[in-house]
Chains A and B, each alone.
Chain A
Amino acid sequence: MNFWNWLFRRHAREKDLDDEVQAHLRMAAQERIAAGESAEQARVSAVREFGNVDLVKETARDIWGFRWLEQLIQDVRYSLRQLGCNPGFTVVAMLTLALGIGATASIFSVIYALALRSLPVPQPDRLVEIGQNSRGNLHTYGEWKLFRDRQDIFLHVFSYNYFDTNFNITGAKERRAVSGLYVSGDYFQGLGVQAVLGRVLQASDDQPGVPPVCVLGYGLWRQLYGESRDILGRALLVNGHEFQIVGVAPRSFFGVDIGHMPEIFMPLEAERTYSDYPLLYGRQTPSLDDPHATILSFIGRLRPGVRVSQANAGLQVLSAQIYGALSGASDANGRAVVRGSLVALPITSDAWLQDMDMVLLLMAMAAVALIICCANLGNLLLARATKRQAEIATRLALGATRWRLIRQLLTESITVSLIGAAAGLLVERWASRSLIWALSWPDDTLSLDLSWDARLVVFALGITLSCALLFGLAPAIRATYVSIYSAMKNGVAAGRRSSRFSNSLLVVLQLSLSMALLVSAGLLVRTLHALLSQDPGYDPRGILVCHPSWQGPSETLPRAAFTGERLLREFRSVPGVTSASWSRVSSEMTGPRLTVSGPTGSEGQSGSYLIFVSSHFFRTRRTPILAGRDFSDGDSRTSFPVAILSEDLAKTLFHGVNPVGLSFRENDRNGKGQEYPVEIVGIAGDIQYRRPGDGALPILYRPVAQCADSGAGVGVYEVRVAGSFPQMTKRLEKAAENVDSHISIRFEPLTDTVSSVVHRNRAMALIATAFGLFVSLLAVIGVYGVTSSATAERTREIGIRLALGAQPADVLWMILGETAALVWTGIAIGVTASFAASRMIRGLIWGVAPTDPLSFGLAVCLMLLISGIAAFLPARRATKVDPMVALRYE
């Protein structure tokens, strides 16, 4: 029997069956008339003899198959009618489920994208990342050339610059910052990715001296050119340099780094073309030519049939050759060449491991929210089951089996769940966007592929159906467990007491879980507050940070570093500027190790971070100079080298002895290996460069004028202004134009930087608070429900009490007392759960005890207050009962 055939011929068969039964009845009646019965009596007898006409028809229909489908359609239609009749229940259930399922699905989709989704390239499992067992996963350019030319272990090897990923692109109309990659020539071939338009990069593009070309990401192609197909061969300005567009990458392609979405791909060698940038502009990362700059990530594609362990054996041999060849190269700074061996590891995303504590907390919150949602719906359904007892008893009496009724009630739950899940999809889209916002850092946006695929759909359907079972099964079974006789007689159910008991259990569960969430939210909010109220060692208010960058053609790039000085001078002369400074953070990957002769002749050593600052740096930041003096304009390139130590560094090196006037020896970073003395002229208060909760860093300040080495990074200007920021940015831009019209400046209030550092704490506090309030709301609905059903059931008893002279206040307290027992139980369990929860999120709280009394106290008070209100409303209604009405009732 074909399904479609069944579907279309269903009505014809129905009619046929009906006719057949009617014919039977007519013939039976006729026979009886012939035997002498009256027409009316004959008809009645025939029908009686036939039995349950509908049951016969139904059984006959069963024969023709697809009965289950027919029943399903029937059940769904019935469910929809039921839902339509109870709009209140429907809306509450739908919203609850939409939020619960949406939140869970969004967290799963983010985790899925971070950790479980495979790379959108052919055979991603054959790709390995090649790291170095003694140093990590990055390599130098010298190592890359040797590795590329000498290896025959892999089918393809390719590399990309891990650090240089931020570019300014000047298109036809606008300028925008995009993330991109410098990749080796074999990058696309190695990944097995074809261009959707034009061609991908080739080995011939990655040669010294060839005109620079680039491949656009799909997104950039769409945004800049609206997917226009005639862009091939056009020029694009990247950081002010012309690149010819040769192709467009596929839509889903993002390289091998999950969480990053490069939008432009350029050959490694193109980067070297511009390695003669002046220090001030553009470059923030070490150049390829620095023999010690480990900046490249290596990826290999295994040959067919070769296992990772086999590849590693080959790599061990190859490493000896590579590092052997490199150790002959001159090493200007006298640093030892790294020894070790290359190792291949399957590519797995570890991004989610770094965020594990956050992800776990989010998952726990979503799970709790979902459980509470289900508990709430279970409660609602239990209450409804009580109301529907008469209906269910009637249907049982008419011959429906219990299984049939349970199936029908479950169909109702599943229908609600599916509708809720559909609404949850909207929530999911929105929630995953906010999750990504929460997981991203302001300067490093996470971009993930969150599109739906089969596994996500299975997950979403799975949780939807398990929700339906979770909240629907118990009430369905309970609802059908009625004594037909007593239910039909007066609608009083035998199972009611126990139904109230399970109601109460669910409410206790809800209360305790929401307590735990509220306490966690409180702890996170208190953490944020503690972090923000921490003294960072400077005053960020009123400071504009200016990041200048060079936007001109390379020929006219001013090479003189004195442009930096001129810019500073121009800034200082702008009206409204109270103070301005210029600083450059050293690009040295490891800070200089300072060795000083202690006062007693012993030597002290400490690693430190090197920052080059101009005069007025500390004044602008309002950081106190604790001893000695600040840098002045007199500390120039030609004067005696001087330094200021941070308080932390001074303590580490000199153990409380005033070091002002002492000196240490510094290595000349120009590569000649000369050492010269540097005099310590002052000690500055500690400045918090990391998160507010972290300890102070040991920092060595040197005058920017005395920074001669090629490794220094971009300059940053900090300007303390008196006027409004928008007005001042305009003035500062004009001042920069006086120096050179090619300079463009990105402005950022320093307070933004500070607040972006606590971004995650803020995001988590916000999310946790939102979740906490949401589930508390659900718990309150639960309290309201259980109290009102308890009072409704006792209307008669209350009526008698009032009639016998009980005061309304007594009744009120009686009912409130019963609910209070419930609420207190919930809170007591909740406090215990909160201790467990606060231990779980230990890594995310700072500056506040995990047993913070304020967070616990507030949560308890909030729970008490809102459940008090929720219980008071139905209790008060109960005292308004008219004894006469109550007694007549039932």
Chain B
Amino acid sequence: MPTPKRDRYQNRIELLQGTLDLLILQTLQWGPQHGYAISQSIRGRSGDVLQVETGSLYPALHRLAKQGWVTSEWKQTESNQRAKYYRLSAAGRKQLLSEQARWKEMVSAIAGIMRPVREEGR
């Protein structure tokens, strides 16, 4: 009998290279967030399908900060804890728009590739 944990593992999808940045930027679009909240938010909004490895999340956050797309500051959380909040910068907003455009392009491209395959299979 498979355990629920194992189920979830199998349902998880490995993030495509480069999509994590897009997801983070997308999440930050609604306001500043700290790392833990970002990972929870991505997991929740994807219905537990996308789980962000902390091993990728923090390097990605620092990578974005170095690019100047997000800024960071230490603030109190609602539960009165100190946490580092990341905020989307103006440059980050621009980057998000271009990444979204690229993502749409890619989705339609992949969809275009997938359709003929299905037709052939029939």
Binding site for B on A (CB under 8 A): 1, 16-17, 19-21, 23-24, 26-28, 30, 49-52, 55-57, 59-60, 62-64
Given A63-B62, A64-B62, is A56 in contact with B35 using a C-beta cutoff of 8 Å? no
Binding site for A on B (CB under 8 A): 34-37, 53-55, 58-59, 61-63, 66, 74, 77, 79, 81-84
In the complex, chain B residues whose CB is within 8 Å of the CB of A20? 35, 58, 83-84
The answer to whether B55 and A23 have CB atoms under 8 Å apart is no
How many whole Å from A9's CB to the nearest CB in chain B?
A: 13
- B34 nearest in chain A by CB position: A23
The answer to whether B36 and A28 have CB atoms under 8 Å apart is yes
Q: For the complex, give the distance between the alpha carbons of A21 and B34 in Å.
A: 11
In the complex, chain B residues whose CB is within 8 Å of the CB of A27? 34, 36-37, 77, 79, 81, 83
The answer to whether B81 and A26 have CB atoms under 8 Å apart is yes
Given A20-B35, A28-B36, A51-B53, is A59 in contact with B58 using a C-beta cutoff of 8 Å? yes
- Tell which of B55, B63, B84 touches A55, judged by Cβ atoms closer than 8 Å: B55
- Tell which of A16, A26, A59 touches B55, judged by Cβ atoms closer than 8 Å: A59
In the complex, chain A residues whose CB is within 8 Å of the CB of B53? 51
The answer to whether B81 and A56 have CB atoms under 8 Å apart is no
How many whole Å from A67's CB to the nearest CB in chain B?
A: 12
- A55 nearest in chain B by CB position: B55
Q: For the complex, give the distance between the alpha carbons of A24 and B83 in Å.
A: 8
Can you report 11 residue pairs joining A to B where beta carbons are below 8 Å apart? A19-B74, A23-B83, A27-B36, A49-B54, A51-B54, A51-B55, A56-B54, A56-B59, A59-B58, A63-B62, A63-B66
Q: For the complex, give the distance between the alpha carbons of A30 and B81 in Å.
A: 11
The answer to whether B79 and A30 have CB atoms under 8 Å apart is yes
Q: For the complex, give the distance between the alpha carbons of A1 and B81 in Å.
A: 31
Chain B interface, >50% SS class: helix
In the complex, chain A residues whose CB is within 8 Å of the CB of B36? 23-24, 27-28
In the complex, chain A residues whose CB is within 8 Å of the CB of B34? 23-24, 27
In the complex, chain A residues whose CB is within 8 Å of the CB of B58? 17, 20-21, 56-57, 59-60
Q: For the complex, give the distance between the alpha carbons of A19 and B75 in Å.
A: 12
The answer to whether A63 and B59 have CB atoms under 8 Å apart is yes
The answer to whether B62 and A23 have CB atoms under 8 Å apart is no
The answer to whether A23 and B59 have CB atoms under 8 Å apart is no
- B37 nearest in chain A by CB position: A27
- Tell which of B63, B66, B84 touches A23, judged by Cβ atoms closer than 8 Å: B84
- B53 nearest in chain A by CB position: A51
The answer to whether A1 and B66 have CB atoms under 8 Å apart is yes
- B74 nearest in chain A by CB position: A19
The answer to whether A23 and B54 have CB atoms under 8 Å apart is no
The answer to whether B66 and A19 have CB atoms under 8 Å apart is no
How many whole Å from B48's CB to the nearest CB in chain A?
A: 14
- A16 nearest in chain B by CB position: B84
In the complex, chain B residues whose CB is within 8 Å of the CB of A23? 34-36, 81-84
Q: For the complex, give the distance between the alpha carbons of A36 and B63 in Å.
A: 35
How many whole Å from A765's CB to the nearest CB in chain B?
A: 66
Q: For the complex, give the distance between the alpha carbons of A59 and B37 in Å.
A: 20
Q: For the complex, give the distance between the alpha carbons of A49 and B83 in Å.
A: 19
The answer to whether B55 and A52 have CB atoms under 8 Å apart is yes
- A61 nearest in chain B by CB position: B62
The answer to whether A59 and B59 have CB atoms under 8 Å apart is yes
Identify 14 new A-B residue pairs, CB closer than 8 A, beyond the known A16-B84, A23-B82. A19-B74, A20-B83, A23-B35, A24-B34, A24-B54, A27-B34, A30-B81, A52-B55, A59-B55, A60-B62, A62-B59, A63-B59, A63-B62, A64-B62
- A51 nearest in chain B by CB position: B55
Q: For the complex, give the distance between the alpha carbons of A28 and B34 in Å.
A: 12
| A1, A21, A24, A49 pick with most chain B CB within 10 angstroms | A24
Q: For the complex, give the distance between the alpha carbons of A871 and B83 in Å.
A: 67
Q: For the complex, give the distance between the alpha carbons of A27 and B83 in Å.
A: 9
The answer to whether A19 and B55 have CB atoms under 8 Å apart is no
How many whole Å from B93's CB to the nearest CB in chain A?
A: 21
How many whole Å from B7's CB to the nearest CB in chain A?
A: 17
Q: For the complex, give the distance between the alpha carbons of A17 and B82 in Å.
A: 13
How many whole Å from B65's CB to the nearest CB in chain A?
A: 8
In the complex, chain B residues whose CB is within 8 Å of the CB of A55? 55
Given A19-B84, A24-B36, is A63 in contact with B63 using a C-beta cutoff of 8 Å? yes
Which 7 interchain pairs have the tightest Cβ spacing? A63-B62, A59-B59, A27-B36, A23-B83, A24-B36, A60-B62, A20-B84
The answer to whether A56 and B55 have CB atoms under 8 Å apart is yes
